[in-house]
């Protein structure tokens, strides 16, 4: 009989969204490195499991992080960990920018023999398929395959509602931002609830078009930011192509058919420990009236939930300088829509920290509901303008 206390831990990542390179293992300590997305320089997402670990303090050292996509994402970051793949907590984590080209050290003592570690709580492809199937089986919901990815996966869109206001929600253009699909799960649970008064209001007022995962290939491959070709989809919206970015081409074509009045592109941010919205300042057709509609939505959301704030965020583009390859700018310019990018943290929300979980799937889902409630209120105010 082998004494497991004297053997090395075992690290695997050959599964849905798995991504890590094992450099060495010595007992319960491992040296690791994060591989880049295919055909790109982006490296930040990791997801792997550690076996043969019950009752042992596991030390995981990930180096060369100054070369990662967003080095500013590592200070004050804590790795996500789960032993049952249902509840995701945070492990003790430190970052030393001066050692090993930037080194993250994660320590954790599993109760069971196996623990999973990830950059953020993963949203597996099977769960995505379950989300689509459950929503599509709800009354009044239509599922459409609006395109196919480069790896041959379906690009699913859900449609519901009887109103004239065309509302678009879409997520995970950047596949490693898995919090975006947790947000979608919360939003869809609300929208498909026949008793929910906010959902009933939105279904009556709007035609909702929802793409829970714009980049299922990158999600499955364990990419941070790109699709199977190595393309950042959120830099393709001015000229998407079937060869490089069929996902964006399919979504934009569907938008052209429906029109867009309100759009939210759901993301995560590596460095900023807050929830915030980025707008479309700087588009060529900017008007103060169009911008005020966006700012009014921000004010409503800030009043509704303490998890949202407006002090932190991205710099605004100068007049006429907006990048129209980014979806929010393209949609605002193309349709005259009230468009915005929602950003959630990989770390924690510094305004309302949670020592056990940091920013979590549960909070993503709750935020999805609050964003819908804010939309219902925003629409009501539109009637009085």
DSSP letters of 81-139?
A: EESSSSS-EE-EEEEETTSTTSEEEEEE--SSSEEEEESS----HHHHHHHHHHHHTST
Mean pLDDT for 340-355 is 97
Closest CA to 168 of 135, 139, 219, 206: 206
For the stretch 48-96, pLDDT in tens is 999 999 999 999 999 999 999 999 999 999 999 999 999 999 999 999 9
Q: What pLDDT, on a 0 to 100 scale, did the predictor assign at position 385?
A: 60
Q: What pLDDT, on a 0 to 100 scale, did the predictor assign at position 3?
A: 43
What residue segments make up the domains of the chain, in order of their start? 10-118, 125-379
Mean pLDDT for 119-131 is 98
For the stretch 164-223, pLDDT in tens is 999 999 999 999 999 999 999 999 999 999 999 999 999 999 999 999 999 999 999 999
Q: What is the H or E stretch that residue 368 is in?
A: helix 361-384
Alpha helix locations (H) across 278-337?
288-304, 327-335
Q: What is the H or E stretch that residue 114 is in?
A: strand 114-118
Secondary structure (3-state) at 19: strand
Task: Please check whether residue 99 is in contact with residue 62, taking contact to mean a CB–CB distance below 8 angstroms.
Answer: no
For the stretch 144-161, pLDDT in tens is 999 999 999 999 999 999
How far is the C-alpha of 37 from the C-alpha of 319, rounded, in Å?
A: 34
Q: What pLDDT, on a 0 to 100 scale, did the predictor assign at position 299?
A: 98
Model confidence at 383, pLDDT cuts 50, 70, 90, reads confident
Q: What is the H or E stretch that residue 96 is in?
A: strand 92-96
User: Residue 89 pairs with which residues in a beta bridge?
Assistant: 81
Q: What pLDDT, on a 0 to 100 scale, did the predictor assign at position 382?
A: 76
Closest CA to 8 of 59, 47, 84: 59
Task: Please check whether residue 56 is in contact with residue 8, taking contact to mean a CB–CB distance below 8 angstroms.
Answer: no
How far is the C-alpha of 103 from the C-alpha of 62, rounded, in Å?
A: 6
Q: What pLDDT, on a 0 to 100 scale, did the predictor assign at position 4?
A: 44
For 10-118, give the CATH class: mainly beta
Q: What pLDDT, on a 0 to 100 scale, did the predictor assign at position 1?
A: 34
> Hey, which CATH number is domain 125-379, 3.40.50.670, 1.10.10.10, 3.40.630.10, 3.20.20.140?
3.40.630.10
Model confidence at 344, pLDDT cuts 50, 70, 90, reads very high
Model confidence at 134, pLDDT cuts 50, 70, 90, reads very high
pLDDT above 80 for 242: yes
Task: Please check whether residue 69 is in contact with residue 42, taking contact to mean a CB–CB distance below 8 angstroms.
Answer: yes
Q: What pLDDT, on a 0 to 100 scale, did the predictor assign at position 378?
A: 98
How far is the C-alpha of 258 from the C-alpha of 331, rounded, in Å?
A: 12
How far is the C-alpha of 90 from the C-alpha of 81, rounded, in Å?
A: 6
Q: Give the pTM.
A: 0.97
Q: Do domains 10-118 and 125-379 have the same CATH topology?
A: no
Catalytically annotated residues: 343
């Amino acid at each position: 009989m082998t004494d497991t206390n004297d053997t090395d831990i075992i690290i695997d990542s050959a599964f849905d969204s798995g991504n890590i390179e094992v450099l060495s293992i010595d007992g319960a300590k491992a040296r690791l490195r994060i591989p880049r997305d295919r055909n790109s320089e982006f490296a930040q997402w990791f997801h792997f499991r550690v076996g043969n670990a019950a009752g042992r303090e596991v030390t995981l050292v990930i180096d060369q992080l100054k070369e990662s996509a967003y080095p500013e994402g590592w200070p004050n970051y804590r790795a996500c960990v789960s032993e049952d793949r249902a509840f995701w907590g945070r492990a003790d984590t430190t970052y030393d920018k001066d050692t090993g080209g930037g080194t993250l050290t994660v320590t954790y003592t599993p109760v069971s023999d196996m623990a999973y570690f990830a950059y953020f709580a993963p949203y597996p492809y099977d769960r995505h398929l379950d989300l689509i199937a459950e929503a599509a089986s709800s009354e009044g919901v239509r599922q459409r395959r609006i395109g196919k990815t480069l790896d041959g996966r379906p690009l699913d869109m859900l449609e519901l509602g009887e109103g004239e206001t065309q509302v678009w929600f879409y997520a995970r253009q950047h596949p490693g931002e898995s919090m975006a699909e947790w947000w979608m799960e919360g939003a869809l649970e609300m929208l498909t609830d026949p008793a929910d008064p906010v959902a009933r209001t939105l279904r009556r007022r709007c035609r909702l078009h929802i793409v829970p995962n714009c980049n299922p290939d990158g999600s499955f491959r364990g990419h941070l930011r790109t699709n199977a070709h190595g393309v950042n989809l959120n830099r393709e919206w001015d000229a998407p192509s079937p060869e490089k970015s069929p996902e964006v081409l399919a979504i934009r074509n569907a938008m052209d058919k429906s029109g867009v009045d309100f759009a939210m592109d759901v993301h995560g941010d590596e460095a900023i420990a807050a929830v915030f919205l980025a707008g479309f300042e700087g588009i060529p057709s900017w008007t103060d009236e169009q911008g005020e509609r966006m700012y009014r939505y921000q004010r409503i959301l800030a009043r509704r939930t303490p998890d949202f704030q407006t002090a932190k965020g991205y710099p605004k583009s100068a007049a006429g300088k907006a990048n129209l390859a980014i979806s929010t700018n393209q949609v605002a310019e193309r349709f005259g829509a009230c468009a915005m990018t929602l950003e959630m943290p990989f770390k924690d929300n510094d305004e309302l920290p949670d020592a056990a979980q940091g920013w979590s799937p549960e909070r993503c889902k709750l935020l999805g509901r609050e964003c819908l409630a804010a939309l219902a209120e925003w629409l009501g105010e539109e009637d009085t303008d």
